[in-house]
């Protein structure tokens, strides 16, 4: 059973990372990016192109991937956010879904459908105690999540830029009126949001392999996590993610492995019925 906990938390950490990337963008521009999973996939493939195809050292491949993802995030913003400013949210949903379809199929054309592996940046024998196995990579996942949470907290609350981002999220128009470089702030949000998903992709590829359709399911779970935690709420997302990972793993083991995907949705619907604004409440309120 301890093994289920470890595996569930590792999986949940990935979900949490996807959700964090999603929320970074949402918190700034009120858009839910339904292509976040495809950004994860791109991160994985760019990492593989670097580390496997071009045989760069893993650390370099990671750095290159993160830079590439930041760039992709900005391009994404230009293609999706700017043209749709002010449009009803559900058109934005459709647009990001369409973007996800484009990215997935471009990936299929560029890299082909065969799954590929990415070596983990960490090596070493797995830890074993009390019948539970924790691999080095799983520890690396936990570590990365912790580091990112810390960095995100520091950036948002302790740096000037982070505070600007929060201001932009609160009220775009006022922020602009006050002279905040709104567009730059938004660009950074998209860049970081894409980078977070890219990191998730780099973490996922060594254990789950990378193939172009990997983004769909992981992205969906990321949204579910965001909903459970309450949109806008970062700690909520992390707790929600870990929680979902555990539920899926335990549900698959003790209830039925057939309905694994359904557990995520059932939990989400149950949470929403009881707390329509998510477990921890969303930050923003609907404008009248």
Count the Cβ atoms, other than its own, within 10 Å of residue 219. 26
CA distances from 275 to 22, 70, 227 (A): 21, 35, 10
CA–CA separation, 48 vs 45, rounded Å?
5
- Cβ–Cβ under 8 Å, residues 154 and 87: no
- Cβ–Cβ under 8 Å, residues 167 and 180: yes
CA distances from 82 to 28, 31, 141, 165 (A): 13, 11, 34, 17
Backbone angles phi, psi at 218, to 5 degrees: -65, -40
Nearer to another protein, 114 or 173 (CB): 114
Q: Which has the closest alpha carbon to 209: 56, 52, 7?
A: 52
Backbone angles phi, psi at 18, to 5 degrees: -60, -45
DSSP state of 210: B
Cα dihedral across residues 74, 76, 82, 88: positive or negative? negative
- Residue 128's SS3 state is strand
- Cβ–Cβ under 8 Å, residues 195 and 144: no
């Amino acid at each position: 059973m301890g093994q289920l906990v470890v595996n569930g938390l590792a999986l949940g950490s990935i979900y949490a990372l996807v959700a964090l990337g999603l929320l970074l963008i949402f918190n700034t521009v009120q858009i839910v990016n339904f292509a976040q999973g495809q950004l994860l996939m791109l991160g994985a493939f760019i990492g593989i192109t670097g580390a496997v195809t071009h045989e760069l050292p893993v650390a370099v491949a990671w750095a290159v991937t993160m830079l590439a993802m930041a760039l992709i995030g900005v391009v994404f913003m230009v293609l999706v956010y700017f043209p749709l400013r002010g449009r009803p949210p559900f058109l934005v949903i459709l647009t990001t879904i369409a973007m996800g379809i484009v990215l997935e199929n471009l990936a299929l054309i560029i890299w082909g459908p065969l799954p590929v592996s990415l070596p983990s940046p960490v090596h070493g024998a797995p830890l074993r105690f009390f019948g539970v196995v924790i691999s080095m990579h799983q520890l690396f996942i936990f570590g990365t999540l912790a580091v990112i949470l810390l960095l995100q907290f520091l950036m948002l609350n302790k740096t000037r830029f982070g505070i600007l981002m929060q201001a932009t999220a609160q009220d775009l128009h006022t922020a602009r009126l006050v002279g905040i470089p709104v567009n730059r702030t938004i660009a950074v949000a998209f860049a970081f949001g894409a980078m977070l998903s890219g990191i998730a992709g780099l973490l996922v590829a060594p254990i789950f392999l990378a193939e172009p359709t990997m983004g769909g399911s992981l992205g969906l779970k990321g949204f579910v996590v965001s909903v459970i935690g309450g949109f806008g709420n970062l700690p909520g997302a992390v707790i929600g993610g870990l929680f979902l990972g555990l539920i899926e793993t335990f549900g698959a083991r003790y209830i039925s492995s057939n309905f694994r995907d359904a557990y995520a949705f059932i939990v989400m619907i149950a949470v929403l019925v009881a707390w329509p604004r998510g477990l921890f409440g969303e930050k923003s309120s609907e404008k009248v």
